[in-house]
Amino acid sequence: MTDLRTRLQGLWLPLVTPFRDNELDEASLRRLVAHYAALPVDGLVLAATTGESLTLTSGETERLVFTVRDEAGRGRNLPLCLGRSGSNTRALLETLARTAAWPIDAYLISCPYYSRPSQRGLELHFGALADHAEHPVMLYNIPYRTGVNLGNEAMLRLAGHRNIVGLKDCSDIRDQSRDLLRRRPDDFAVLTGEDARYHEALVDGADGGILASAHIETETFANVWKLHEAGDHNAALARWRSVEELVRLLFSEPSPAPIKHWLWRTGLIESAELRLPMTEVSAELATRLDREIEQRTKASKNASLVNAR
């Protein structure tokens, strides 16, 4: 746990789950892991929102985890965080027991959805999970998906739990995030999950980001954090501005459809397939994405030619 706490910073990638003919595409999954392990990614989050976790069976989730760990072990052995969610505390405790021996380093557990419990209910829910989890727990606060906002008073009490190590912050309320960053314990990591607010969150004191957009231009997203940490704030802002519009494009239709389209077009996955109720991108967005891919590919080639001279 101590080691993980020191690694909860920088750029973490919530990995997409590739499908082909409605089955888990293990070949594409291995290709993705090998690709991102060679890039400046600090960790992977599996079977979370971007990974279409709610459409995966328990057997598929297990195959996903073991396949990623096997492939990651061939190179840079990135830490793995498994996404879990639900509104039934007892059922989640059973899930944690079932996955206790899996080769993961942490859980990312979202607030219960739909039931909208009180702050006391949220605190007791996460406390019970953390008490029994064999791996450290990261909280995931995303009220616009779950319908409930984990407030800072309850959050700070949970931050004192020995097995709760950090937060993926998608509160989308800057004042709340700033207040938490001012008051949190030193060993409680806060990573933003709001792609469009990545640079803003770093300026406010966040430790990094868990960013779906970083499937694309991964090195640029990593450099934003590295430059900010080095104190080169003007360069960090310039790098951020080079991908700011890309983030908007990748979230112009429900994620991860635009990201999967991009990964498919660039050959990292065999299909842009998603599982219902998620659908592939519209024809209009596909055209815009293809145009952006072409422009960025040309720019990258031109830059390589200049550097080679």
Whether 5 and 43 have beta carbons less than 8 Å apart is answered as no
Q: Which CATH architecture has domain 2-232?
A: Alpha-Beta Barrel (3.20)
Residues 6+ apart with CB under 8 A from 298: none
Residues designated catalytic: 140, 168
Average pLDDT, the chain: 96
Q: What is the residue extent of each domain of the chain?
A: 2-232
Does the pLDDT at position 4 exceed 90?
no
Q: What angle do CA 257, 259, 265 make, to 5 degrees?
A: 100
Does the pLDDT at position 210 exceed 90?
yes
Q: Which run of H or E residues covers position 164?
A: strand 164-169
Does the pLDDT at position 78 exceed 60?
yes
Side-chain half-sphere of 1: how many Cα atoms within 13 Å?
A: 16
Cα–Cα distances in angstroms (integers) from residue 139 to residues 24, 70, 81, 83, 299, in the given order: 27, 26, 11, 10, 39
Mean pLDDT within 285-292: 98
Cross-strand bridge partners of residue 153 = none
pLDDT-derived band at 151 (thresholds 50, 70, 90) equals very high
pLDDT for residue 75: 80
Mean pLDDT within 151-160: 98
Mean pLDDT within 32-53: 97
pLDDT for residue 90: 98
pLDDT for residue 42: 97
Strand pairing of 137-141 and 23-24? unpaired
3-state secondary structure of 199: helix
Does the pLDDT at position 217 exceed 50?
yes
Mean pLDDT within 135-150: 97
pLDDT-derived band at 304 (thresholds 50, 70, 90) equals low
Closest CA to 16 of 263, 295, 203, 287: 263
Q: Which residues of 17-29 are buried (b: 16+ CB within 10 A; e: fewer)?
A: bbbeeeebbbebb
Mean pLDDT within 298-306: 75
Residue 257 CA, chain-centre distance (Å), reads: 15
Q: Which residue has the higher pLDDT, 303 or 228?
A: 228
- Which tens digits make up the pLDDT trace of 165-200? 999 999 999 999 999 999 999 999 999 999 999 999
pLDDT for residue 309: 64
Rg (Cα) of the chain, in Å, rounded? 19
d(CA 5, CA 188): 8
Does the pLDDT at position 2 exceed 60?
no
- Which tens digits make up the pLDDT trace of 234-255? 999 999 999 999 999 999 999 9
Does the pLDDT at position 84 exceed 90?
yes
Give pTM, 2 decimals: 0.95
Does the pLDDT at position 1 exceed 50?
no
Whether 42 and 5 have beta carbons less than 8 Å apart is answered as no
